[in-house]
């Protein structure tokens, strides 16, 4: 794989990951006249829960559902420059023009109204867009195993690089797919958030894993994985190095965890064989998901990685995919119990979800 780092007209970085052994470094220049990116993000900590909340009012003007012929993620063409200056590409990653977090956000840490109750700080971090293919009409599920492997290598590369940035505490690669999820750009792509804090979900998982290890001497996800492989009723797909299963306490109408058979903290720690095997297992999961209702399934799929500076020994890398679609034409809405108290009510059992996915294949 050949990696080429270039810059867009406003100074943002764009990185190409090319598969061909005969590929040459990318040279195309961004000809657009772009103003500098002006992010004004901040983070505030909820005094009642201790959780950080991001504020990014400048994102109100971001691109929203453009027509296909004006897609900013397609390759550039004569008279139609895009975010990607090349006329074609394999995998491309670039800094988001409308980032939730950015490295050059001005300001200092303080408290809201100077009252000393609610901490506030600049939302310093980085947000990147990952384009999986130059083909506007494809999806991740339609990629070949070789391309998925390139995407995994790109995720790993960006995780390693972003983890070295000052102030970054956690790196989260993810994909949002489908309008029901809230996607506003239909070109197959994902994002990477480099957060200036450890996310609440990760904090909770670290605390749970630490407590479980203190009680048993083992890792909780390792025991869950062993039980799922042994029982099999919730397993959806399995390879030499990965198993995909519906979690035994699934919250969503479609939910799958894809877990490596050995504990590693993050994507850079995966071996070449593990990366190849993930591609095969994950594509099987996605194809079953799309066959479930005989339509493209809207979903969120994200990587749970160890934070940069702490809790790494308690983390076990895994990917989780979930969907809000509970039938071919019905959505699961987060109503009072879920939205108000974070107490989830699922309309199907995990065993039923797994059986439907296995049958859909």
Give the residue from 148, 152, 157, 185 showing the smallest Cα distance to 74: 185
Residue 241 annotated to the active site: no
Tokens 């897609």, residue?
A: 71
Q: DSSP states of 238-257 as a string?
A: E-SSEEEE--TT--SSEEEE
Q: What backbone phi and psi angles, to 5 degrees, belong to 350?
A: -55, -35
The answer to whether the annotation marks 74 as part of a ligand binding site is: yes
The answer to whether the annotation marks 127 as part of a ligand binding site is: no
Query: Cα–Cα distance between 113 and 105 in angstroms, integer?
Result: 19
The answer to whether the annotation marks 187 as part of a ligand binding site is: yes
Query: Cα–Cα distance between 174 and 282 in angstroms, integer?
Result: 14
Helices 145-162 and 272-292: crossing angle, nearest 10°?
120
Neighbours of 311 (CB within 10 A): 19
Neighbours of 341 (CB within 10 A): 8
* Tally of CA atoms within 13 A in the half-sphere of 249 that contains its CB: 3
Confirm if 40 and 105 have CB atoms less than 8 A apart: yes
Give the residue from 7, 46, 52 showing the smallest Cα distance to 30: 7
Q: Which residues contact 92 (CB under 8 A, 6 or more apart)?
A: 14, 15, 16, 17, 84, 86, 130, 131
The answer to whether the annotation marks 315 as part of a ligand binding site is: no
Q: DSSP states of 99-154 as a string?
A: -SS-TT-----EEGGG-SSSEEEE---EEEEEE--S-TT--GGGS-HHHHHHHHHH
Confirm if 245 and 348 have CB atoms less than 8 A apart: no
Give the residue from 107, 105, 135, 109 showing the smallest Cα distance to 121: 109
Q: Hey, what are 117's tokens?
A: 């109750």
Largest separation between any pair of C-alpha atoms in the chain = 64
Q: Which of 186, 189, 241, 318 is catalytic?
A: 189
> Would you list which residues are annotated within the binding site for Zn(2+)?
71, 74, 136, 187
Active-site residue numbers?
A: 189
């Amino acid at each position: 794989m050949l990696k080429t780092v270039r810059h867009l007209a406003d100074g943002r970085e764009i990185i190409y990951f090319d598969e061909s052994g005969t590929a040459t470094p990318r040279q195309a220049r961004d000809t657009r006249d772009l103003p500098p990116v002006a992010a004004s993000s901040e983070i505030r900590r909820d005094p009642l829960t201790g959780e950080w909340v991001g504020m990014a009012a400048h994102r109100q003007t971001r691109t929203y559902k453009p027509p296909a012929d004006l897609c900013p993620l397609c390759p550039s063409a004569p008279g139609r420059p895009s975010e990607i200056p090349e006329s074609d590409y394999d995998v491309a990653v670039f800094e988001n023009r409308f980032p939730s977090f950015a490295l050059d956000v001005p300001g200092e840490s303080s408290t809201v109204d100077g009252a000393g109750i609610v901490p506030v700080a600049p939302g310093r971090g980085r947000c990147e867009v990952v384009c999986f293919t130059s083909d506007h009409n494809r999806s991740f599920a339609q990629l070949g195993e070789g391309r998925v492997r390139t995407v995994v290598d790109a995720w790993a590369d960006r995780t390693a690089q972003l983890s070295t940035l000052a102030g970054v505490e956690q790196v989260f690669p993810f994909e949002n797919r489908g309008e029901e999820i809230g996607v506003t750009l239909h070109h197959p792509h994902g994002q990477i958030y480099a957060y200036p804090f450890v996310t609440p979900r990760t904090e909770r998982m670290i605390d749970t894993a630490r407590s479980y290890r203190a009680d048993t001497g083992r890792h909780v996800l390792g025991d869950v994985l062993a039980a799922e492989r042994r029982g099999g009723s919730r397993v959806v797909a399995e390879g030499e190095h990965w198993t995909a299963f519906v979690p035994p306490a699934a919250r969503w109408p479609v939910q799958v965890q894809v877990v490596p058979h050995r504990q590693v903290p993050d994507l850079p720690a995966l071996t070449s064989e593990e990366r190849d095997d993930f591609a095969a297992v994950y594509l099987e999961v996605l194809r079953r998901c799309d066959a479930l209702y005989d339509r493209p399934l809207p979903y969120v799929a994200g990587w749970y990685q160890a934070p940069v500076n702490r809790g790494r020994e308690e983390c076990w890398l895994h990917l989780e995919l979930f969907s809000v679609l509970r039938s071919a034409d019905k959505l699961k809405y987060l109503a009072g119990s879920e939205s108000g108290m974070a107490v989830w009510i699922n309309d199907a059992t995990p065993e039923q979800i797994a059986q439907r996915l296995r049958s859909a294949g």
